[in-house]
Amino acid sequence: MSAYVNRGTPQQAYYHRPGQYTAPAPQRPVANVKDDYERWYTEILPNNRMALSVRSGIHSEVAWALDRLCRLGGNEQFSYRSYPGLIDGLFDWPEWYVNEGYKEVNESQELFGPSKDFDAQHRFALESLLILRNIALQDSTELQNHSHTISLILNGLHNLDFTKDKNQEALLHIIDIFQGLAGNLLINASVPDYSNPIIPLTKIIAHSKNRSLIIAAFNALTGVLSHPGNALHFSRTKESLGAAIRYLPLFVDKALLEPCLEHIYIHVAHPSSARVFLLNPELSSVLKVLCSLVLSEQQATQERVTLDITPQYRTVNLNSGTTARNYELTAEDLENLSKSSEPHRCYEWMRLVLAARQDAEMTQVDIWTLYKETFTPYQEAIPLLGASDVIKYVTHVYPSAQAMVLQGPTQRFIVRGIERRQQVTASERFKCLWDRSACSEAAFSSPADLFDHLLEHLGSLQPPALPCLWSTCQHTCSELQHLRAHLLTHLPSSQPQARHPSQSETVTVAPGTYDINTIPPTNRPVPPIRNATISYERPIVDPSSAALTALLIIRVLFRTAFASSEVAPKADADHFGFPGVVEDTSDPNEAAGTDPESDKEGERRGRKAFLGVRHMLQNVRLRDEALMSWVEEMVDATMPELN
């Protein structure tokens, strides 16, 4: 064992220990002298068997210890740090592999297969790395403070060739361990390239064909770049950014998509690198893909809402034989009414002119006006009732009626449940219109009767002048024979007019009290649409984290592209920012080292790209109002007339 492990590396002897660390007080073991007695291997003692075995260099012992430790990793009660020297021992084999062992992975080994010894040692290295990775996941501070961690990671990343199969697993573990520390790692500008983990990670992302390795490297690299002090390294991540853009359309592969989105976001989150991103030739494609991502989820997570906004309307039967009109008091009715005194007169009057109908309504003013107009001529004999009394008596006469106030833009005082009594009269289709419509004869029941009646009118005409006096007709005949023939053109057909198949049997009229028989259709209030429904799609769940990240990237790019323009909305009292994100309100032009010319060009390209995705943004629907207001702002700001 000692023949391989970092021979000549001086730091081997100096392991970092946290300041407060105190070795557990050695207990005085009572010697157990029984035959075949063996100490339990998880006993927390300085001479724990696993801790000693892992460093022994005896292959069978190392294999046993690593096997135990791998299994114990699944036990939450178990803590590796409780055994002094155990974690130090776990570094031995990985360090051997990343410094010396990897050299044996060469062409001759691929051809003839590795030696038995190498195979065992390679396995020890992998098992140790797996355990270290589990420790990093459990408790990252333990490895953060360990003096060998960084050198192991750097040597691993730089020395192991990621294109070789033998190295894939080791690299994956190393990158996983690194990910735990990445967020706290500050890499100065003076750090030489061979100590800079960003360079090998970028290469792995850009050129590896191993999906797991790419995902792990994305996470680790994004972790390093999320440290604000590492912003100066953005110039070195062109390749990884290119790879993230390349993998972006793989919507189905969520595990790969999310690290790609995070990686792009970390680039645009920094103002200066966001401005550089605007100059990226892929910008408009990236925006389109991001919008497609948001839209692709939307279809599955929205419901169709149908809203019935049909206003109140009433229908009148298209009855050809009879017509209904408001009942008008006859002279006889009026005489009877004048005999009774109030309030009986009012009761009687209501029974005559009003009728109960469940869904009808009349305004209180209409009822009062009707009462007043009817009885004002008689007020000398019987004084009129007050308006409130009249309304009150409606509910006496019709208990189902109800006086109420409808709230709305204008308050309406109505009585619900009553209407004007309708009087059914014969149709006026066969009414005589002779003498310019002044003929007083009642309507006839058939065209034959009407024609017979018309012939009587003709008898009173004096030849030679024979004008047609039907309604507004200007025709004049010289012979009676001709006039009789002409009159036939005025007679309505005996059959009712055929309706168009799509025409309803009823006529829609606007609510209110007016007589549709006396008012021609063009003078009536415009009737409402009978079936007015609006249907639209509404999101039922919030978008996934991937879609939210995509939206966040779109938003940051938008604000960068429209930074110098008035239309760029800032987070203020009226405009919400992204929940949980503090928007950078400082003037981006203040940042040092910016080139105003290239910034201008970037903004120009950015706006052009946003113009290209406007139609996609218009289709985005989000449940969250604050997020939806973002999308609306972006759609408004990219209106073609403004740009």
The residues that bridge with 305 in the sheet, in sequence order, are 536
Q: Is 466 in the site for Zn ion (CB under 5 A)?
A: no
CA 166/CA 103 separation, integer angstroms: 11
Q: Is 439 in the site for Zn ion (CB under 5 A)?
A: yes
* Site residue total, Zn ion (CB under 5 A): 8
- Residue 450 Cβ vs Zn ion, minimum distance, rounded to whole Å: 8
- Residue 518 Cβ vs Zn ion, minimum distance, rounded to whole Å: 20
Cα angle 614, 615, 619; round to 5: 110
- Residue 477 Cβ vs Zn ion, minimum distance, rounded to whole Å: 9
Nearer to Zn ion, 439 or 616 (CB): 439
- Which one of 146-154, 396-404, 472-480, 609-617 is the stretch in contact with Zn ion (CB under 5 A)? 472-480
- Which one of 329-337, 385-393, 471-479, 601-609 is the stretch in contact with Zn ion (CB under 5 A)? 471-479
* C-alpha dist (Å) from residue 392 to 364, 376, 415, 516: 10, 19, 10, 29
- Site map (CB under 5 A) of Zn ion, residues 153-192, x = contact: ----------------------------------------
Amino acid code (one letter) for 642: L
Nearest in space to 359 (alpha carbons), one of 309, 426, 416, 319: 416
- Which one of 175-183, 430-438, 512-520, 555-563 is the stretch in contact with Zn ion (CB under 5 A)? 430-438
Q: Is 561 in the site for Zn ion (CB under 5 A)?
A: no
Q: Which residues contact 4 (CB under 8 A, 6 or more apart)?
A: 96, 100, 101, 121
- Which one of 49-57, 461-469, 528-536, 578-586 is the stretch in contact with Zn ion (CB under 5 A)? 461-469
- Which one of 150-158, 356-364, 463-471, 508-516 is the stretch in contact with Zn ion (CB under 5 A)? 463-471
Site for Zn ion in 49-68 (CB under 5 A): none
Cis peptide before 343 (omega within 30 of 0): yes
Cis peptide before 228 (omega within 30 of 0): no
Amino acid code (one letter) for 257: L
CB 602 within 8 A of CB 278: yes
Site for Zn ion in 290-319 (CB under 5 A): none
Q: Is 221 in the site for Zn ion (CB under 5 A)?
A: no
CB 392 within 8 A of CB 399: no
- Residue 372 Cβ vs Zn ion, minimum distance, rounded to whole Å: 37
CA 302/CA 618 separation, integer angstroms: 16
Q: Is 443 in the site for Zn ion (CB under 5 A)?
A: no
Among 129, 432, 550, 627, binds Zn ion (CB under 5 A): 432
Q: Is 83 in the site for Zn ion (CB under 5 A)?
A: no
**Cα atoms in the 13 Å half-sphere on the side-chain side of 387:** 11
- Which one of 97-105, 360-368, 393-401, 465-473 is the stretch in contact with Zn ion (CB under 5 A)? 465-473
Q: Is 470 in the site for Zn ion (CB under 5 A)?
A: yes
CB 256 within 8 A of CB 215: yes
Element (H, E) at 617: helix 614-617
- Residue 440 Cβ vs Zn ion, minimum distance, rounded to whole Å: 8
Q: Residues 466-471: contacts with CB within 8 Å, 24+ apart?
A: 469/434, 469/435, 469/436, 470/433, 470/434, 471/433, 471/436, 471/437
CA 325/CA 519 separation, integer angstroms: 11
Among 201, 468, 477, 557, binds Zn ion (CB under 5 A): 468
CB 54 within 8 A of CB 69: yes
Q: Is 434 in the site for Zn ion (CB under 5 A)?
A: yes
Q: Is 441 in the site for Zn ion (CB under 5 A)?
A: yes
Which residues are at the interface with Zn ion (CB under 5 A)? 432, 434, 439, 441, 468, 470, 473, 475
